[in-house]
Amino acid sequence: MGDNPHPLKRSSSFGLLPPNMSELRVVLLGNSWSQRSSVGNFILGTTVFNTEGEPDHCQRVSGTLKNKIVLINTPDLLHPNMSEIKLTEHVETCVRLSDPGPHVFLLVLQPEDFTEEHKLRLKSILENFSDQAFDHSLVLIPTPREESPGYIVKFMEDPQIKDMIRMCRYRFLWQKTIDLPELLTRLGQIVKENNGDHVSCDVFKETTSSLPADHQSPKQKGPQTSVIGAVKSAASGFRIVLLGKSEDKQTKLGNFIIGDQKNKKQKR
């Protein structure tokens, strides 16, 4: 496992958040919707995520513990049949819901079903968020569906789990052996190790900056509308996003706007 094969030790020296922070934003990722939702419910102390029916969009919920905490739960981004277009849409939505950026990626990994394909896809997703994403990540291994003697050793020797823990700077916890204050302390520790900074999702900055203000609001829930077309004014650099069901009407409107801007420029 490397120089540090053991999970993080208990420590009371870290509070939940630095004094200048108003909220903690956490993105839940992993290979089991049920487990991610259970962890989210565990953190907030109430049933906010349905552990049975998996939605096809990201969900954002918040609660107040010692400080405000915001959780963004994702659909099954590791599913091999998910197209790259759909995956990109989900990640963009996740970026918007965690605006201006997540503080922690909580990777809930179910070892029984975590394959090499899952590992490579999760690695790619985190890298798409930011090249600093692994500095903000924590692996949480949930209680297995069927416990057996020596299961901890077995899972810790799993090459896919070992690789993910290594990439996350050896930050990992067993859900069975921690309580809520301990988990919150670990999340706060990651924030403090990163000087209170959130992840800057530069890859999708152009997309989110092009959206109207109400689409960037972190309070928005449910799936985001896909961006069908965009018009950029050469005169001022002002960007307009065109949303709707009719591509033909959007094209006509875009041509009208561009033509109108050119006419104004000529009149000047």
User: Is 248 a domain residue?
Assistant: yes
CA pair distance 141, 110, nearest whole angstrom: 6
User: Is 94 a domain residue?
Assistant: yes
Query: pLDDT value at position 78?
Result: 93
What's the pLDDT tens digit per position in 118-137? Answer: 999 999 999 989 999 999 99
Phi, psi of 237 (to 5 degrees): 80, 10
User: Cβ neighbours of residue 19 under 8 Å, at least 6 residues apart?
Assistant: none
CA pair distance 45, 58, nearest whole angstrom: 20
Q: 252 and 178 in one domain?
A: no
User: Is 119 a domain residue?
Assistant: yes
Number of alpha carbons in the 13 Å side-chain half-sphere of residue 2: 14
Q: 224 and 103 in one domain?
A: no
Q: 159 and 30 in one domain?
A: yes
Q: 56 and 173 in one domain?
A: yes
- Mean pLDDT check: name the lowest of 114-118, 187-191, 214-218: 214-218
Question: What is the band of 24 on the pLDDT scale with cuts at 50, 70, 90?
Answer: very high
Q: 169 and 72 in one domain?
A: yes
In the chain, the number of structural domains is: 2
Write down which residue in 204, 234, 255 finishes a domain: 204
Q: 165 and 260 in one domain?
A: no
Which helix or strand (DSSP H or E) is residue 55 part of?
Answer: none
User: Is 8 a domain residue?
Assistant: no
Is a pLDDT exceeding 80 seen at residue 206?
Answer: no
Is a pLDDT exceeding 80 seen at residue 145?
Answer: no
CA pair distance 237, 247, nearest whole angstrom: 23
Q: 38 and 145 in one domain?
A: yes
User: Is 228 a domain residue?
Assistant: yes
Largest CA distance in the chain: 81
Q: 103 and 27 in one domain?
A: yes
How far is CA 137 from each of CA 33, 46, 77, rounded to the nearest angstrom? 18, 24, 17
What's the pLDDT tens digit per position in 37-76? Answer: 999 999 999 999 998 888 889 999 999 877 789 999 999 9
> 172-174 and 104-108 as β-strands: parallel, antiparallel, unpaired?
unpaired
96 three-class SS: helix
Query: What mean pLDDT, rounded, does the chain reach?
Result: 76
Percent of the chain residues topping a pLDDT of 90: 49
Write down which residue in 151, 170, 204 finishes a domain: 204
Query: pLDDT value at position 249?
Result: 52
Instruction: Establish whether the linkage from the previous residue to 18 is cis, with ω within 30° of 0.
Output: no
Query: pLDDT value at position 265?
Result: 44
Q: 229 and 103 in one domain?
A: no
Query: pLDDT value at position 248?
Result: 58
Query: pLDDT value at position 252?
Result: 57
What's the pLDDT tens digit per position in 148-186? Answer: 676 777 778 889 999 999 999 999 999 888 899 999 999
Full domain range(s) for residue 74: 23-204
Write down which residue in 155, 174, 204 finishes a domain: 204
User: Is 226 a domain residue?
Assistant: yes
Estimate to the nearest angstrom the gap between the alpha carbon of 197 and the chain centroid: 15
What's the pLDDT tens digit per position in 90-109? Answer: 999 999 999 999 999 999 99
Query: pLDDT value at position 5?
Result: 43
User: Is 17 a domain residue?
Assistant: no
Q: 116 and 32 in one domain?
A: yes
Q: 200 and 212 in one domain?
A: no
Is a pLDDT exceeding 90 seen at residue 234?
Answer: no
Q: Are 88 and 226 in contact (CB under 8 A)?
A: no
User: Is 7 a domain residue?
Assistant: no
CB atoms < 10 A from the CB of 218, how many?
16
Q: 159 and 96 in one domain?
A: yes
